[in-house]
Amino acid sequence: MHIPWRTSLDVIAETLRRHGIEPASVTNVEPAWVAFAEFLQLDIDGIDPAPDSDADGFIIQWGRRSWNDDRLILTFTRQLAIADVGDHDDPYWQPELWQLDLEMAFEDEADLIGLDSLDVHNTGFEFGPTGPVRAAALADARAKAQRHAPVRAAWIAAPTSSGLSFESVC
């Protein structure tokens, strides 16, 4: 199924709701991950069509963010290189990078101590195509994240707040 890039926020919100999750009040990370993985299998119209482009990818991130009152967070991100914006006649034109984030915040709990001080704070971006390649990348990213005890603890902890955002990052 193809969706227009501008509807991505609405589509992920609806996908979360089908899994019993309200985007602004995630209380269980696992069904949020299942919904996010489902959303990642949808093809997006309007992204950079170049075959060597990193036009559609995802990453799992964790740590502590100053813009969120220094709370511990776990974030599922889909990054898109949007090609149908801007002046294509401009010799310096580049696709715009947009990120859709499902950010879940946690209170400081004993099991989560160290989430912000791990040597690594993300799984690295994966840009494989939708379908079996993306499914394998999703499984691998989850396994990478779960290698760290504080990330495993966040995955089973109840977030105290959450939210969706979709914005240009450059």
Condensed to tens digits (0 to 9), the pLDDT of residues 65-98 reads 877 788 899 999 999 999 888 777 788 878 889 9
What does the angle CA 111 – CA 65 – CA 13 come to, to the nearest 5 degrees?
90
Average pLDDT value for residue range 26-55? 92
Q: How many Å separate Cα 108 from the centre of its chain?
A: 22
Q: How many residues are given for the chain?
A: 170
Residue 88 has, within 13 A of its CA and on its CB side, a CA count of 5
Where in the chain are the domains?
2-168
- Classify residue 148 as exposed, middle or buried by CB count within 10 Å of its CB (0-12, 13-18, 19+): middle
SS3 45: strand
SS3 72: strand
- Higher confidence at residue 114 or residue 27? 27
Write the single-letter amino acid at 134.
Answer: R
